Amino acid sequence: MEREGLIEELKALIIKSLKLEDVLPADIEPADPLFGSGLGLDSIDALELVVALEKKYGIRIPDEDVGKEAFASVNALADYIIKNKP
Amino acid sequence: MPGRVALVTGGTKGIGREISRCFVQKGIRVYMNYSSDDTAAESAAAEVSKAGIPAKIIKADVSDQEQVNSMVEQILKAEDRLDILVNNAGIIRDGLLMLMPDINWKRVIDVNLNGACYCSKAVLRSMVGNRWGRIINIISPSALLGRAGQTNYSASKGGLLSFTRSLAREMARFGITVNAVSPGVIETELTGTMQDNIRKEFISMIPAGRFGRPEEISNAVSFLASDEAGYITGEYISIDGGLT
């Protein structure tokens, strides 16, 4: 999948799976950290996102070390999916 | 409850078998885990299945994470869900700490505590995805009171109680509850072989003046596994005739 399209898809998935009702895709800056600031997501939210991403893209985020790399930003997440999807 | 899928570790004997039977009666599809005796497990499943829909048996040593993961994968492949986990598998290797063989410490922690961790970890993704789940850990009065000769067992069960409380807080927002049940002395094959004088001594310590019945445990587990108990999490229920 084209990277730009994937980034838009990921923004929508993040909003949907974490039920961020007041957030629009345009509010998510692809280079900004996903957790700890910006969107105000916490580490327990990340669990929900892990499950949603694994299901949709067939990737595996086995532990928090990988999670930290993948969730650094939407850009990082897109790169992780492109690199690891089956 | 009908249509839900449950895994009961150590589910073919004693309290685990009664919990499996209680689930079967409620229309839950039950996987009874066991670790060694195939023939006994098959006959236990046949017997439990008389209470309703057929229960299945599934072999794995819960202290071996690879075996646990492959057991859970097998269930998820067949059922596409796993709603209820009862961490019931447990062993006892009593002895005074000063003279306890190290292997007896390690083995009890491996099965009773690490086993519950591996099983819980293996089922959580499916439960988070479904936004519904029940984990019920079987602990012991030894988790709450000290008991000479049970440093390993009480540490494993006390650890499991603390694990219960913390995991409950991690999972609460996903509709997953994590609770513990603490059975006192229960009538099982094990207590059936007790000598009379030991039996009397035990009974003298129990305010209710008798051992518990397996179904008195399984009814509480079944309640905690139900929709009705959805707001109870991080708790334990003692079912011990007043012992603790």
ipTM value, please give it. 0.87
Render B22-56 in DSSP notation, one character per residue.
HHHHTT-EEEEEESS-HHHHHHHHHHHHTTSSPPE
Interchain contact, B174 vs A47, CB within 8 Å: yes
Interchain contact, A47 vs B128, CB within 8 Å: yes
Which residue in B80, B120, B174 has the most chain A C-beta atoms within 10 A of its own C-beta, making it the best mutation to test that interface?
A: B174
Q: Specify the pTM.
A: 0.94
Q: What tens digit of pLDDT does each residue of A39-85 get? A: 777 889 889 999 999 999 999 999 988 888 898 999 999 999 999 98
Q: What tens digit of pLDDT does each residue of B157-177 get? A: 999 999 999 999 999 999 999
Q: What tens digit of pLDDT does each residue of B173-227 get? A: 999 999 999 999 999 877 888 888 988 998 999 999 999 999 999 999 999 999 9
- Is residue A48 within 8 angstroms of chain B, CB to CB? yes
Per-residue pLDDT at B191: 80
Out of B124, B129, B174, whose CB is closest to A55? B129
Per-residue pLDDT at B159: 98
Q: What tens digit of pLDDT does each residue of B120-132 get? A: 999 999 999 999 9
Which residue in A51, A54, A56 has the most chain B C-beta atoms within 10 A of its own C-beta, making it the best mutation to test that interface?
A: A51
From B177's Cα to the closest Cα of chain A, the distance in A is 15
Q: What sign for the dihedral angle of Cα A51, A52, A53, A55?
A: positive
| pLDDT of B37 over the 90 cut | yes
Per-residue pLDDT at B150: 95
| pLDDT of B1 over the 80 cut | no
Interchain contact, A51 vs B170, CB within 8 Å: no
> Percent of chain B having pLDDT more than 70?
100
Give the pLDDT band of residue B236 (cuts 50, 70, 90). Answer: very high
Give the pLDDT band of residue A1 (cuts 50, 70, 90). Answer: low
